[in-house]
Each structure stands twice: as C-alpha cells, then as structure tokens.
Amino acid sequence: MPVTSNMPPAYQRFSPEQLKGFLKKMLLVRRFEESAEAAYMRGLIHGTMHLSIGQEASAIGICSALSDSDFITSTHRGHGHCIGKGAEVKFMFAEFFGKEDGYCKGRGGSMHIADPSKGNLGANGIVGGGIPIAVGAALSAKMRKTDQVVVSFFGDGANNEGAFHEALNMASIWKLPVVFVCENNLYGMSTSTERSTAVKNIADRAVAYSMPGVIVDGNKFADVADAAHEATLRARRGEGPTLIESKTYRTRGHSRSDRNRYRTKEEIESWMNHDPIDLFEADLKQFKLLDQDEITALRAEVENEIAEALEFANNSPSPSLAALTRDVYTVI
Amino acid sequence: MVSEVRELSYAQAIQEAMAIALEQDERVFLMGEDIGVYGGAFQVTGDLVHRFGPDRVRDMPISELGGAGVAVGAAMTGMRPIFEFQFSDFATLAMEQIVNQAAKLRYMLGGNISVPLVMRFPAGSGTGAAAQHSQSLEAWLAHVPGLKVVQPSTPHDAKGVLLAALADPDPVMIFEHKVLYKSKGPVPEGYYTVPINKSETRRIGRDVTIVASGIMVHKSLEAATQMESEGIDAEVIDLRSLRPLDIPAIAASVKKTHKLLIVYEGVKTLGIGAEVSAAIAESDAFDFLDAPIMRLGGAEVPLPYNPELEKAAVPQVPDIVTMVRRLVQGAV
C-alpha cells in the first residue's frame, strides 16, 4: 500500500502505473542519450547533438500534464521533450542516424525532431525560435475554441532573446493557453546566467508580463509535475499563461565541441549527486509506489527497447538522393 | 446593354479579397499593427474590423518578430493567418521567423507540417518616407527555398493572388507597392484566383522583351506606348511571381524579340534582374539574343528623402525608353 502522508500531490494524482510510465520515459531519455553519445564516439554520426542528461525530470514532469492533443515546442536540447510527448525512440534514433524512417525522414537530425500526430510541433535550432510559435499555437487553440494548451520549452539562454519578451507579452495581453517552461541549466553554452541575465531568477521576469512566475526544482519529478498541473489548469480555465522556471543542470557539455572550461568538476559532481532519476526512484520506493524489483524489471525493459530501436535505426534505409528537394513545398 | 466593368483601387481589391476569405473560411484571420479601427497604415484593412470583429482583425503590439512567430504557430495548427507588415522594411525585424521558421519547417520536419501563412508587405519608394520606409526587399525573400514570393501589379491580380495564396498550403509572401494602392483597375466580383507561379504578358510586341515587376510594369507599359511612334514594338511581361520564376514564358518571348531588358525597383546588384538574366543566359533562348541582356534597377543607395533624389534612385519611364532605344539600335 502506498504511504500517503507527506506525499506530493503528483504522487496522489497519478496511479502507480502512470508513475511507472513516467519513470520509464525518464529512463528512455537517459538511455537514448547515452546510446546516442556512444554512437557519436564511435564515429557513426556526422552531425551534432545536444544532450539533456540530468534534465529528464523537467521534460517528463512538464509533459505529464499534457495529452496528445496539446502542443509543445521544443529546443535543440529536446530529446526529453520528444519522449515526454510520446515519441518512439526507434524513429528518434532513425532520425539521429539520418535515415528515411526518422521523424523528419533524415532532413532534420537530432535538433529538429517533430511529431505533429502527438502535438509535438518540433524542436527548434534557433534559441527562442519556438516561443512565439507556441503563442501562435495557443492563439489558434483559443480561436478554434478547443481546450488545448501549449507548452513552450526553452533554456536560460533564450530568456535574453527579444522573441521571449515579445511572445510573453502577447500571450498575456490575449490571455492565451500557453505555459512557458524555462529549463534553466545555468549556462547558455558557456555563459552563466549570472553573467548574462539581469535578474536573479528568470521567473522574476513574469512580473513584467503580469503572469505567475513559478520556480521549481527541475530535478524533482513531483515538483515539476505539480507546477505543470497548476499552470495547465490555469491555461485551460482561460486565465492565461504561466512562466515556470525549472532549475536544473546538464551534466554533459553544451554540444560535442564543449571542453567544460567554464565550470568545475566539483560543480558537475554535486549536480550528479542530485540526479533526477535517482531522486524519482528513491521517492517511489519511499512512498511504496514501486519496489526495487519493479524498477530493475523496468530498467531491463528500457534496455531491450533501446537495443531494438538501435537495430531498427541501423537497418533503416538512407533517403534517396532523388528525393533531395521533396517537401520543400507541398505543391509547386 | 454593355455592363460596365467594375473598377476598384488596388487597396480596395486586396480588402475585398480579405473580406471574401474572412466570410468563407473561419480559419482566416488578419493580424498586424493598427489594422483594426485605424484601418491599417495604408487603409487596406479599412473597416474590416467592424464587419469581422477584433478577434479576426487583430491589432498586435509593435512586435514584428513575435507577431510573425505567432502567425507561423497559428498557421501550423489549423488557422490561416494573413499577416500585415506596416511597411515591408519592418520585415527585417522578423527575418528569423520568416527565413528560419516559416520557410524551413515543412522540409526540416520531414514534410509532416505545413505553414499555410500569407504575409503582406507594403513596399517601394515614392512616398517621401526615406531610407527605412521605402525599400524593395522582395529579392531577399525570393532567395529562400520554402517561400513563394509574388508582386502583383494590378488590382485584379492583387485580389486574385491573395485568394490563391490563402488556398496554398505553403507560406506566400505578397509584396504590394504602396504607390499602387490608389491605382484603379477592373476587378471581377466574387471569388477568383490568379496563379502565383505564372507571369502575365501585358503587351505583345516583336522588337524587345521588357520583363518588369510590380510598379515597373506600369512604367514599362508607358515607355512602350511612348515608343510606338518611333516604330519600336515592345513586349512587356509582368513577372508577378519572383519565386517560382516563370522562365519558360520569358525565354519564349526572347526567342521572338531577340532582346531582353529587365526593370525592377529593388537595388540592381544581386537583384531579381540578375536572376532572370542568368536564367535566360543559361536557357536555349541564349542563342536567339542579338544584344546583351540589360537591367534597370534601383540605385546603389539608401533611398533618399528629397523627391527629386528619390525619383532618381529608381528606374523611371525615360530611363526605360532610353535603354530600349539603345537595345533596339544595337547601341549596347
């Protein structure tokens, strides 16, 4: 029987089976990225990638409040958002390998995975590029009189882009059903928020746009999920946007070119001791929602899925060169 | 009884197209700066807000980048936005969303998402508005695969092109010339479309082909009329679409006239004239040429305020006459 005293609302709102599903997704994100990194190290990948290892609770916690008909816009560091919004790792690997079976048929790569059938409007390579697009999707949801909400994921770097400010202002004046989720991992590439950002907390910027600004520990699934729950309810009630600042950390570098010259080993290690998957598993065990045997079985299941997905991607055909210009236009 | 052909101004024709679209398709809405009760800086939206309400004729803050992104996001999720830039020059503020997002999302995301977005750009000189409110930047956007770029020259085409753009699943950029807004011409009632991939021969002639775009079509026609008395018979082709370019029609004309002049208001260097010229030089029409291909384009200068300087900065009727004479007399 679950222990309910002191249990965060998220653990009461979701069934143990649902919580297990979220843990599975976090594990999938982690193993997808570790496998991607391994493939990269072995020279199998020619493009770039941005790993979100350490940020899994943020992605999956936010998406726990969304249904397939809700929308997200994502970022260059978006693997977790994709999996959170229902992407299958085999099609993600295929895209990462540049194959025809990939989500973007090999045209986008790791940085642009999209799946409109699940409401994923795409990971965007331009910092801040997805934020106004999310506001447009929210305007669309409101004008079409649906109860869809839109989540716009972005990083701390994007909060100094003009697009962020313009988009938050418009979402607020039009009371649109959008949740802005700033995953503050402390660095925009190498530049710390301390050096780049005039406010202490990015959530403080919500005041300027008359919306709630909420700070959560982005490495704690329940904290993130509860904030997302409140913000999406507010959005669905027609009360307008919320800015959530999810404080987290990427334990890997910005991209493959990163030599970690701007932060210390000690800092990275201290965050690794605050690992979102470890924290979530400890919680689930503490509240007797899941036991160690189930977790072990779940990890094995994820391992199998990853292995099968890698095989699928390896066997997927490359795009035909004759199809180079396909899909530039719908009709010429 | 001969029924008189109804005449409308270019601005009225665009407004009528938008009214028809708003009436027929609930997905259509307009957004822009001061397009509501103000009626738009050039009175193109006029009183549409009174007929269709402020939700569908939506004033937006002065946020070109964010606003363009909102239009992209709305277009991706089931709406058909028509976005008005107050001046085409302000598109420079929104280039990120136009070039990186609207143009690329379909291809980059594997053909799974379309961006059925229409943007309107009041462009061109002749209003004494100086360098930041008078440019012709259509060639910038025509350089980008994924966009379609049109430049209607008559009220008839302005209406038909807009309705065709709305029926098109891909982003269409419409460059309207500000000086043409008050020009009148026959406009059929009701719904019709004008193809956005075809040029239009405005005058049939045998001695020289003048390819012109936008307002330069009218100046070229005036020049052609003036030269009739000299026995020079010019063919005038209205380019109308810059991307895609209707090269076959131009090549066919050149095979007949053996001479080609391209007239456009945008800055001459690296402008649309260079592309038309190169495409004809590469085509089987090259062997038919009896003279070098000539271009008349805007001067290499920010547009000046003084009216005489402003006129001198873009091709005028006497410039076209002089150039055609030189071409026909073999003086180039």
Are A103 and A123 contacting, i.e. CB atoms less than 8 angstroms apart? no
For residue B143, pLDDT over 90 is answered with: yes
Q: Give mean pLDDT, residues A145-166.
A: 98
Is B208 within the bounds of a domain?
A: yes
Question: Do B168 and B215 lie in a common domain?
Answer: no
Closest CB from A116, A144, A331 relative to B112: A116
State CA A259 to chain mean position distance: 24
- The reply to whether residue B73 touches residue A132, judged by beta carbons under 8 angstroms, is yes
Is B221 within the bounds of a domain?
A: yes
Question: Do B61 and B98 lie in a common domain?
Answer: yes
CA neighbor of A275 nearest in space, from A40, A52, A87: A52
Is B193 within the bounds of a domain?
A: no
- The reply to whether residue A327 touches residue B146, judged by beta carbons under 8 angstroms, is no
Q: Is B59 on the interface with A (CB under 8 A)?
A: no
Closest residue of B to A130, CA-based? B69
- The reply to whether residue A143 touches residue B197, judged by beta carbons under 8 angstroms, is no
**Res A257: pLDDT:** 83
For residue A48, pLDDT over 90 is answered with: no
- The reply to whether residue A140 touches residue B108, judged by beta carbons under 8 angstroms, is no
pLDDT band at A6 (very low <50, low <70, confident <90, very high): confident
Q: Is A254 on the interface with B (CB under 8 A)?
A: no
Question: Do B205 and B181 lie in a common domain?
Answer: no
For the segment A168-182, what is each residue's pLDDT rounded down to a tens digit?
999 999 999 999 999
- The reply to whether residue B67 touches residue A166, judged by beta carbons under 8 angstroms, is yes
Q: Is B185 on the interface with A (CB under 8 A)?
A: no
For the segment A139-155, what is each residue's pLDDT rounded down to a tens digit?
999 999 999 999 999 99
For residue B1, pLDDT over 70 is answered with: no
Are A253 and A259 contacting, i.e. CB atoms less than 8 angstroms apart? yes
pLDDT band at B3 (very low <50, low <70, confident <90, very high): low
The CATH number of residue B21's host domain is: 3.40.50.970
Q: Is B75 on the interface with A (CB under 8 A)?
A: yes
Question: Do B57 and B182 lie in a common domain?
Answer: yes
Question: Do B122 and B22 lie in a common domain?
Answer: yes
Is B213 within the bounds of a domain?
A: yes
For residue A53, pLDDT over 70 is answered with: yes
Where along chain A do its domains lie? 9-309
- What percent of chain B lies above the pLDDT cut of 70? 99
- The domain boundary, picked from B186, B213, B242, lies at B186
Q: Is B146 on the interface with A (CB under 8 A)?
A: yes
**Res A255: pLDDT:** 87
Cα distance between residue B52 and residue B22, in whole Å: 7
**Res A1: pLDDT:** 67
The CATH number of residue B237's host domain is: 3.40.50.920
Confidence (pTM): 0.97
Residue-range definition of the domain harbouring residue B292: 200-328
Distance from CA of B104 to the nearest CA of A (A): 8
What would the two tokens of residue B248 be? 């076959």
How far CA B85 is from CA of A68, A169, B122, in Å, comes to: 34, 19, 7
How far CA A41 is from CA of A45, A99, B87, in Å, comes to: 8, 19, 50
**Other Cβ atoms closer than 10 A to A143:** 20
Q: Is B96 on the interface with A (CB under 8 A)?
A: yes
- What percent of chain A lies above the pLDDT cut of 90? 92
How far CA B93 is from CA of B42, B63, B88, B244, in Å, comes to: 20, 8, 10, 25
Question: Do B268 and B159 lie in a common domain?
Answer: no
Q: Is A134 on the interface with B (CB under 8 A)?
A: yes
Q: Kindly report the average pLDDT of chain B as a whole number.
A: 97
Query: Is B64 marked active-site?
Result: yes
Q: What is the ipTM metric for this complex?
A: 0.96
Chain A stretch 152-171, residues whose beta carbon is closer than 8 A to a beta carbon of chain B:
162-163, 165-167, 169-170
Longest Cα pair distance anywhere in chain A, in angstroms? Answer: 63
For residue A61, pLDDT over 60 is answered with: yes
- The reply to whether residue A163 touches residue B66, judged by beta carbons under 8 angstroms, is yes
- The reply to whether residue A122 touches residue B148, judged by beta carbons under 8 angstroms, is no
**Mutating which of B109, B172, B193 best tests the A interface, going by the most A Cβ atoms within 10 A?**
B109
For residue B4, pLDDT over 70 is answered with: no
For the segment A277-296, what is each residue's pLDDT rounded down to a tens digit?
999 999 999 999 999 999 99
- The domain boundary, picked from B186, B220, B242, lies at B186
**Res B70: pLDDT:** 98
Which residues in chain A are closer than 8 Å to B147, comparing Cβ atoms?
none
Question: Do B175 and B322 lie in a common domain?
Answer: no
Question: Do B24 and B130 lie in a common domain?
Answer: yes
CA neighbor of A121 nearest in space, from B169, B30, B99, B115: B115
Is B74 within the bounds of a domain?
A: yes
Question: Do B314 and B263 lie in a common domain?
Answer: yes
For the segment A304-314, what is each residue's pLDDT rounded down to a tens digit?
999 999 999 99
Q: Is A98 on the interface with B (CB under 8 A)?
A: no
CA neighbor of A280 nearest in space, from A59, A79, A90: A59
For residue B5, pLDDT over 90 is answered with: no
For the segment A231-268, what is each residue's pLDDT rounded down to a tens digit?
999 999 999 999 999 999 999 998 878 888 999 999 99
For residue A226, pLDDT over 60 is answered with: yes
Is B191 within the bounds of a domain?
A: no
Q: Is A71 on the interface with B (CB under 8 A)?
A: yes
Question: Do B182 and B273 lie in a common domain?
Answer: no
**Res A258: pLDDT:** 87
Which residues in chain B are closer than 8 Å to A166, comparing Cβ atoms?
61, 63, 65-67, 69
Q: Which of B133, B156, B177, B218 is catalytic?
A: B133
pLDDT band at B32 (very low <50, low <70, confident <90, very high): very high
Distance from CA of A92 to the nearest CA of B (A): 12
Is B176 within the bounds of a domain?
A: yes
Closest CB from A73, A132, A143 relative to B66: A132
Q: Give mean pLDDT, residues A211-239.
A: 98
Query: What is the domain class of A9-309 according to CATH?
Result: alpha beta
**Res A147: pLDDT:** 96
Which residues in chain A are closer than 8 Å to B65, comparing Cβ atoms?
132, 162-163, 166
Q: Is A127 on the interface with B (CB under 8 A)?
A: no
- Give, as one character, the DSSP assignment of residue A119: T
Residue B12 burial (CB < 10 Å; 0-12/13-18/19+)?
A: buried
3-state secondary structure chain B: CCCCCCEEEHHHHHHHHHHHHHHHCCCEEEEECCCCCCCCCCCCCCCHHHHHHHHHEEECCCCHHHHHHHHHHHHHCCCEEEEECCCHHHHHHHHHHHHHHHCCHHHHCCCCCCCCCEEEEEECCCCCCCCCCCCCCHHHHHCCCCCEEECCCCHHHHHHHHHHHHHCCCCEEEEEEHHHCCCEEECCCCCCCCCCCCCEEEECCCCEEEEECCCHHHHHHHHHHHHHCCCCCEEEEECCEEECCCHHHHHHHHHHHCCEEEEEEEECCCCHHHHHHHHHHHCCCHHHCCCCCEEEEECCCCCCCCHHHHHHCCCCHHHHHHHHHHHHCCCC
- The domain boundary, picked from B186, B212, B234, lies at B186
- Give, as one character, the DSSP assignment of residue A317: P
Question: Do B177 and B245 lie in a common domain?
Answer: no
- The reply to whether residue A139 touches residue B66, judged by beta carbons under 8 angstroms, is no
Question: Do B292 and B173 lie in a common domain?
Answer: no
Residue with tokens 């507010």: A234
Is B173 within the bounds of a domain?
A: yes
- Give, as one character, the DSSP assignment of residue A9: H
